[in-house]
Chain A
Amino acid sequence: MNTLGQKKHSIDILFPLALVFVFAASAFVVLIFAANIYSRQNNDAQANFSSCTVLSYINERIRRSDANDSISIENIDGINCIAISDEEYVTYIYQKDNNLMELSIINDIDANLNVGDVIIQDTDIRFNQYDDGLIRLEATDVNNRIYTLFISERSNK
């Protein structure tokens, strides 16, 4: 038997160990990178949801009921509300405690904004009557990106 071939060197253990360590470190770096990207994606999706969904919802809500001058902006207890009225009911859409809320009541009753239904949570939206027949909505997402949408009232012409 040749004993030379069976002689052990410390590098025989150190090299694979070093290699394993390099692999492990690289895998860890890729994992951290992936987690970071996933977190940003999630943040962007949340930001899109919190701003665009709110704007789309209000836009559709106004479009659906835009007849006979039924859309107006009212200030109730210091809160700007979009009021959508028909023959019997009036619906208020407003923001309270970072939630988009909606309250439907019979025309002659005073509105209590504390009892509205939460439509979308964690939103930051402001609205005002920008011009005659033009409503301005401004939503700020979690990345502080501001989306401004103007809605022209079709019935106010």
Chain B
Amino acid sequence: MKYTKSRSSLFLMELIIVILFFTIATAICLQIFVKSRNLSRETSDINSAITICVSAAEIISNATSNDKDPYTAVLNAYGNKAENNTEDEISIGFNNNMSSFGVDDPEYILDISKADSPSENIAKYQITMTHDSDDILYSLELEVIQ
């Protein structure tokens, strides 16, 4: 009788350990899967953000050298719809995969603002792509000769 009881409790312990091991392994696996998925999505977002910021810099550079207004040139290239448009700053909204611009309720915002320039004939711009208004994806500084 004693022998049977001891055997069944051993079996129960064995089961508990196996279930615990399997649960931990599954939890770790799922965590890694979700992390890798998020990393992959973040990589795509940063790639898009870099492309858009570099494009904005190129448009500003081109407009300045052709004596055009840089902000108007950027707005023309990105659908003429700004979230915010002042003399020193413009913001353009992008959709959830940064393919469409000038959308309602944007998820990503491209901010272009004038920064303090080191000399009179140089204009300095700060170009930033943010996610959900606060998470900076990519940012670059541009200096162009006026």
* A145-157 contact mask (Cβ, 8 Å, vs B): 1 or 0: 1111111110001
- Closest chain-B Cβ to A129's Cβ sits at a distance in Å of 12
Interface 9-residue window, one of A29-37, A72-80, A90-98, A119-127: A29-37
Q: A47-B44, A133-B66, A145-B97 are in contact. Are A150 and B58 (CB under 8 A)?
A: yes
- For residue A60, CB closer than 8 A to chain B, the reply is no
Q: A30-B26, A30-B30 are in contact. Are A19 and B15 (CB under 8 A)?
A: yes
Interface 9-residue window, one of B32-40, B122-130, B133-141: B32-40
* A39-80 contact mask (Cβ, 8 Å, vs B): 1 or 0: 011001101100010010000000000000000000000000
Q: Which one of B29, B55, B61, B77 lies within 8 Å of A30 (CB-CB)?
A: B29
Q: Which one of A23, A144, A145, A152 lies within 8 Å of B58 (CB-CB)?
A: A152
Interface 9-residue window, one of B46-54, B80-88, B103-111, B113-121: B46-54
CA distance A157 to B65 in the complex (A): 6
- For residue B9, CB closer than 8 A to chain A, the reply is no
Q: How many A-B residue pairs have CB under 8 A?
A: 84
Q: A44-B44, A47-B44, A134-B58 are in contact. Are A34 and B33 (CB under 8 A)?
A: yes
Q: Which one of B4, B55, B99 lies within 8 Å of A145 (CB-CB)?
A: B99
How many B residues have CB within 8 A of the partner chain?
34
Contacts of B59 in A (CB 8 A): 134, 150, 152
CA distance A151 to B47 in the complex (A): 16
- By size class, the interface of chain A is 35 or more
Is the pair B40, A40 in contact by a Cβ cutoff of 8 Å?
Answer: yes
Is the pair B99, A146 in contact by a Cβ cutoff of 8 Å?
Answer: yes
Chain B minimum-CB-distance residue to A15 = B15
CA distance A61 to B8 in the complex (A): 73
Is the pair A152, B1 in contact by a Cβ cutoff of 8 Å?
Answer: no
- For residue A131, CB closer than 8 A to chain B, the reply is yes
Q: Which one of A37, A55, A133, A144 lies within 8 Å of B33 (CB-CB)?
A: A37
- For residue B43, CB closer than 8 A to chain A, the reply is yes
Contacts of B62 in A (CB 8 A): 131-134, 150, 152-153
Contacts of A4 in B (CB 8 A): 1, 4
CA distance A37 to B38 in the complex (A): 11
- Closest chain-B Cβ to A45's Cβ sits at a distance in Å of 8
CA distance A148 to B56 in the complex (A): 10
Counting from the closest, the 3 A-B pairs by CB-CB distance are A5-B4, A152-B62, A150-B55
A-B CB contact pairs (8 Å), 9 listed:
A23-B18, A26-B22, A30-B30, A40-B37, A40-B40, A133-B62, A147-B51, A149-B51, A152-B58
